[in-house]
A and B are shown apart, each in its own frame.
Chain A
Amino acid sequence: EAGVVQSPRYKIIEKKQPVAFWCNPISGHNTLYWYLQNLGQGPELLIRYENEEAVDDSQLPKDRFSAERLKGVDSTLKIQPAELGDSAVYLCASSLLLARGSYEQYFGPGTRLTVT
């Protein structure tokens, strides 16, 4: 079974430029997450989708960040315009509902963004 796929793996852009990240979750996982991971820190949730609906986007900086999940499968996270402080790893994860209401999240390899 293929894992969570993300592309690109690395991206270097100049500040004020736009950038987009793509994620393909594990087949059958209806919950998809985007996380931001700064160097030396744990991941922080940006947005969570249940199928096509963004059910938790409270931590997404909506002035410059946007996300979509068309057809409830693949997802794209966009930053426009990028700032120096956006340099980080962007992780995508998907999850499956297990017995007794617990979830298990599977993470992709991440996209490392460098803004110069």
Chain B
Amino acid sequence: AQSVTQLGSHVSVSEGALVLLRCNYSSSVPPYLFWYVQYPNQGLQLLLKYTSAATLVKGINGFEAEFKKSETSFHLTKPSAHMSDAAEYFCAVSDRGSARQLTFGSGTQLTVLP
């Protein structure tokens, strides 16, 4: 079964600093990978996705993620944090055979300090 592990349930960064949110997946074959963001009292919004094209994926709001097969990782980064980035971030995985089935990580709460 597919699974993802998000290291760090809470991450704090200063405004303007690098954002790095970690995600490792468990799969025998390269899966599809996703990052979602959830603002308070809202649903999840897709930030970016990896579906076997370029390994460096660019998403919305200046975020990007790199698929590294050797490390089974799909970490999310942003060069310069903004106050509006404060939210909960979820990594998710699906296998290519049943790409509609998403399995989510437990989430990382990002706090941006002024």
Q: How many A-B residue pairs have CB under 8 A?
A: 57
- Which of B44, B99, B107 interacts with A91 by CB under 8 Å? B44
Q: Give the contacts of A86-116 with B (CB-CB under 8 A).
A: 91, 93, 95, 100-110, 112
- Which of A4, A95, A108 interacts with B100 by CB under 8 Å? A95
Given contacts A48-B101, A56-B101, A105-B102, contact A43 B51 (CB under 8 A): no
Q: In this complex, what residue of B is CB-closest to A105?
A: B102
Q: Does B17 contact A (CB under 8 A)?
A: no
> A85 to chain B: which residues have CB within 8 Å?
none
> B84 to chain A: which residues have CB within 8 Å?
none
Q: In this complex, what residue of A is CB-closest to B53?
A: A100
Contact between chains at A107 and B107 (CB < 8 Å): no
Contact between chains at B49 and A42 (CB < 8 Å): no
Q: Does A31 contact B (CB under 8 A)?
A: yes
Contact between chains at A103 and B90 (CB < 8 Å): no
Indicate with 1 or 0, residue by residue over B78-114, a CB within 8 angstroms of chain A CB atoms: 0000000000001010101001111011110000000
* Complexed CA–CA distance, A76 and B102 (Å): 21
Contact between chains at B41 and A109 (CB < 8 Å): yes
The prevalent SS among residues of A at the interface is strand
Given contacts A91-B43, A107-B44, contact A42 B100 (CB under 8 A): no
Q: List 16 A-B residue pairs with CB atoms under 8 Å apart, sorted by A's residue number.
A: A41-B107, A42-B104, A42-B105, A42-B106, A45-B102, A48-B101, A56-B101, A102-B32, A102-B99, A104-B46, A105-B46, A107-B36, A109-B42, A110-B42, A110-B43, A112-B41
Interface residues of B (CB under 8 A from A): 9, 32, 36, 41-46, 49, 51-52, 90, 92, 94, 96, 99-102, 104-107
Beyond A31-B100, A104-B46, A107-B36, 5 additional pairs, beta carbon < 8 A: A45-B102, A91-B43, A95-B100, A102-B49, A112-B41
